[in-house]
Amino acid sequence: MTVTIIGIGLIGGSMALALKEKGFSDRVLGVDANTMHREKALALGLVDEIMEMPEAVLQSDLVILATPINVSEVLLPQILNIAGKQVIMDVGSTKKIICESVAIHPRRGRFVATHPMWGTEYSGPEAAVRGAFEEKAAVICGKEESDRDAVEMVEQVYRLLGMHLVYMDARAHDVHVAYVSHISHITSFALANTVLEKEREEDAIFELASGGFESTVRLAKSNPAMWVPIFMQNRENVLDVLNEHITQLRKFKACLEKENYTYLEELIENANGISRILK
């Protein structure tokens, strides 16, 4: 089995490692526009060979599109134009726009829209992690729009990676990830900027930073080249979630302004209910 990874970064590199180690692929080809990424991916053994996209696609059984989502949106129709029986899957954080980009393509059935629900704040080939996807969720969107054999191959990939499968349509996916992923990143970026603004006046603040602060702002180290396109493509859903988040922040602010500590305690107790989901 020959697999081509287009975009040899955190997700693509981690998938390349796993598919080789699990015996799914005996040959992994890499495609990346970044020269340093190509060299690093070879040096780390993430891929066996670097190729240009047309040749790599034609030599593959499976193509994994792991570029930033705005790039994937452009590349996917080009890949389908080249492909024959190859299966193409993407791993992007939004699904509606990329699905719409090939909705009427004659080879639409060879594409499976997916989102493995895993990531870190790091990027590039050196960020690749062994065992990254185990016990995480993988979302497959618009299953009925893809050929049965294509879906079955993608399902096999994710099960090999140790993931459990979730099926939904692209629009619903984008709403849900706005709540569980995208708002977390915006909050982290905003908090980091708040603290950096304060740090101009008081260098000692970082001497007091502890584990709680570090875990809260960890996502602020995420790559803007990845996240700006995500926010652009999922703008309406993110705005809805952001408005609700701002409403909640105002409740906490009002409690402190009015010294309403009874309601403050209620807000915190209500928030503790998240333990039903995050155990």
The two tokens of residue 269 are 């107790």
- How far is residue 238's CA from residue 184's CA, in Å, rounded to a whole number? 10
pLDDT of residue 184: 93
At position 39, the amino acid (one-letter code) is E
Q: Coil, helix or strand for 57? A: helix
pLDDT of residue 205: 64
User: Residue 110: its pLDDT value, please?
Assistant: 98
According to DSSP H, which parts of the chain are helical? 10-21, 35-43, 53-58, 69-82, 96-101, 148-160, 170-177, 183-199, 211-217, 224-233, 235-257, 261-271
CA distances from 30 to 20, 40, 59, 127, 185 (A): 13, 11, 12, 16, 29
Q: In the chain, which residues fall in CATH 3.40.50.720?
A: 2-168
260 burial via Cβ count (<10 Å: 0-12, 13-18, 19+): middle
CATH 1.10.3660.10 domain locations along the chain? 173-276
Quote the CA–CA distance of 155 and 182 in Å, as a whole number: 25
Low-confidence ranges of the chain (pLDDT < 50): none
The position carrying tokens 């593959």 is 60
For 133, half-sphere exposure in the C-beta direction (CA atoms, 13 angstrom radius) is 28
Beta-carbon contacts of 8 under 8 Å, excluding residues fewer than 6 positions away, are 16, 30, 31, 32, 37, 38, 41, 46, 47, 66, 125
- One DSSP character per residue, 85-138 reads S-EEEE--S--HHHHHHTTT-TTGGGEEEEEE----S--SGGG--TTTTTT-EE
CATH architecture, domain 2-168: 3-Layer(aba) Sandwich (3.40)
Helix runs in 23-147, H state only: 35-43, 53-58, 69-82, 96-101
- The per-residue pLDDT for 17 is 96
Name the one residue in this structure whose structure tokens are 């952001």.
242
pTM above 0.85, yes or no: yes
| Nearest CA-CA partner of 64 in 104, 24, 34, 103 | 24
Amino acid letter, residue 279: K
Residues paired with residue 50 on neighbouring β-strands, in sequence order: 30
Closest CA to 112 of 136, 82, 76: 76
Q: Which residue has the tokens 């459990």?
A: 164
pLDDT at 216: 78
Q: What residues are paired with 167 via a beta bridge?
A: 140
Cα–Cα distance measured from residue 49 to residue 26, given in angstroms and rounded to the nearest whole number: 12
CATH of domain 173-276: 1.10.3660.10
